[in-house]
Amino acid sequence: MTQSQPIPVFTLYGETAVFPDVVHCERFSARAPIHDWRIAAHRHSHMAQVFLIEEGQVAAQVDGQDLSLGDGTFLFVPAQAAHEFVFRPDTGGLVVSVPQSVVRTIGPAQQDILAALLQPLHGAASPRLQNLLAMLDDIAGPAHPFRDQMAVGLVHAALAEVAAGA
């Protein structure tokens, strides 16, 4: 990351409009190919993200730490953390974007889990985390009844799994 230039702040990458959803889930293939599989340094002021790399390779940098992520790994990026990515073309996976208002409502025993979710986390994605994120991906369309409530419940479970497993 180049520190001489200010790091832009986005809602979703490249966007500054109001966050579009209670929880946003999208496949890497929706945005990364448009940017030639490179996502430049940026941050999100009011949003955390969970990345699941299903297959492929991602070189990431989060707050100056270089990471190499491959098949079956996850990365959690807290709000305000500067991050950038270079994906091997055709890397498969998804990113779940979670507003801080949703992160903060996780409970019970909020303080322990919220403290864990203040830092970047990464590692092997447990089968449980993979299943929770797959369910989030499955209900991503707006047509599902009670979609918002299901999304919040699933993302809270996924965040708990991330915090416990890292």
Q: For the segment 68-125, what is each residue's pLDDT rounded down to a tens digit?
A: 999 999 999 999 999 999 999 999 999 999 999 999 999 887 788 999 999 999 999 9
HSE-up (13 A, CA, CB side) for residue 111: 0
Is residue 138 helix, strand or coil?
helix
- Residue 1, pLDDT score: 42
> What is the rounded distance in angstroms from the CA atom of residue 65 to the CA atom of residue 148?
34
Examine the pLDDT at 13 and tell me if it is beyond 60: no
pLDDT band (50, 70, 90) for residue 22: confident
Examine the pLDDT at 3 and tell me if it is beyond 60: no
Look up the pTM and report it.
Answer: 0.90
- Residue 2, pLDDT score: 43
